[in-house]
Amino acid sequence: MPYAADMNPGLYIHVPFCARICPYCDFAVTTGAEAKRRAYLRSLDAEIEQAAAAHGDWLAFETIYFGGGTPSVLPPAQLSDILDAVRRNFSVSEDLWLTLEANPEDVTDEVAGAWRHLGFRSLSLGVQALDDERLDFLGRTHVTETARDAVRAARSVDFDLVSIDLMFGATGQTQRSWSRELEAAIELQPDHISLYQLTYHEDTPFWKWLQSGRRAELPEPQQADLYLQAVEQLSGAGFDAYEVSNFSRGRKAESRHNRKYWEHAPYLGLGPSAHSFDGDRRRWWNHRNLPQWEAALERGESPLAGAETLDTDELVTEAVMFGMRTRKGLDLAEVEARLGVDLEALNEVRFNEWRNRGLVKGHRVLRPTPSGMAIADRLAAEILTG
């Protein structure tokens, strides 16, 4: 039996449109008028039918996540058409959990009500900052009050879960200014907060400014201090750090869809750049380029750009990476039983050193502490896997 293929899968739908491309963004996104969006929807409908022919025997989807890009640029009627096409071609759970990413400036009482009527239960708002100067620095088109209004609108139509994204680590950001933003976020009373460290991705405007000296990265120790400050301040307000970047008010507010990725559950990705995994060893991904993805589907061909079959070492490496980033931790006994690798024996000295330094705790399940989570990717890279 494949490791997790008997778990209910999740569906990710990538909507590649934004009203404006942020200077730090490295996602597969583009701007586009109505004609461009209609062409995308025709191609997506074709991919849904194509994917159903290949994967229609999967168990019912229990989560569907609309990400991007900015899915909220699509009017509710177009979102409804996508959902109808999914339901025509796939099985979905009776307790389906639908999530929509949205920019604050797209949220009104009327539109939020329409999303809720379509069955969306979770709204993830790309707030990014709660300081107007930082919003301007990040190239965002909204202001702080717009973000507050968006949260209020979502609350007014009774979304089950409201989440906000925040970025940290920009040059000049201080612990004092970051504390004010965190306090402003807490005052909004979201159910969930995602924190993302500002990264200078190659070929983005921010990266080019970094190379030219117009920008400077905040030193890593200062970034770690900002992260640990957020953990302390948010935990004091009732938010649990259940994954490096994610904080929730209790277990029920944790991301049901993202858990699919962290637990090696099966998931299907549709749209340009979307990735899929069968819950065992096979992963595949679509063309990143929107015209290339559309052209393949118009020819009746697969939009796949590549695929791979993970070997045991790669599966162990992923289990280590995901485990070290989550409160659930790295289950050493489970890795040994499933993949035949005794990580404790390979890393006994290293693990004991980390325990003594307060970076991890536990033995058969290795769980990162907040200090460990602040450098989780570095710790994962140091673990010997074979």
Give domain status of residue 279, yes or no: no
CATH number at residue 325: 1.10.10
Question: Residue 338: which H helix or E strand, with range?
Answer: helix 332-339
Give domain status of residue 338, yes or no: yes
Tokens of 268: 């299907």
Give dist(CA 245, CA 194) in Å, integer: 5
- Residue at a domain's end among 261, 296, 321: 261
Q: Domain residues for 342?
A: 312-382
Give domain status of residue 289, yes or no: no
Give dist(CA 266, CA 6) in Å, integer: 8
What is the spatial order of strands in the sheet that 360-361 belongs to?
Answer: 330-331, 365-368, 360-361
Give domain status of residue 219, yes or no: yes
* 63 CB-contact burial (10 Å; exposed 0-12 / middle 13-18 / buried 19+): buried
- Residue at a domain's end among 223, 239, 261: 261
Same domain, 228 and 316: no
Give domain status of residue 237, yes or no: yes
pLDDT (0 to 100) of residue 1: 33
Same domain, 318 and 224: no
pLDDT (0 to 100) of residue 33: 83
Question: From residue 168, how far is each of 30, 181, 218, 222, 372 by CA, in Å?
Answer: 24, 10, 10, 11, 18
End-to-end CA distance of the chain: 24
pLDDT (0 to 100) of residue 170: 86
pLDDT (0 to 100) of residue 6: 73
pTM of the model: 0.95
Give domain status of residue 38, yes or no: yes
pLDDT by residue for the chain (386 residues), tens digit each? 345 667 899 999 999 999 888 999 988 889 878 899 999 999 999 999 999 999 989 999 999 999 999 999 999 999 999 999 999 999 999 999 999 999 999 999 999 999 999 999 999 999 999 999 999 999 999 999 999 999 999 999 999 999 999 999 988 889 999 999 999 999 999 999 999 999 889 989 889 988 988 888 888 889 999 999 999 999 999 999 999 999 999 999 999 999 999 999 999 999 999 999 999 999 999 999 999 999 999 999 999 999 999 999 999 999 999 999 999 999 999 999 999 999 999 999 999 999 999 999 999 999 999 999 999 999 999 999 98
Same domain, 54 and 138: yes
pLDDT (0 to 100) of residue 286: 98
Same domain, 243 and 334: no
CATH number at residue 231: 3.80.30.20
Strand partners, 267: 10, 277
Same domain, 231 and 166: yes
Number of domains in the chain: 2
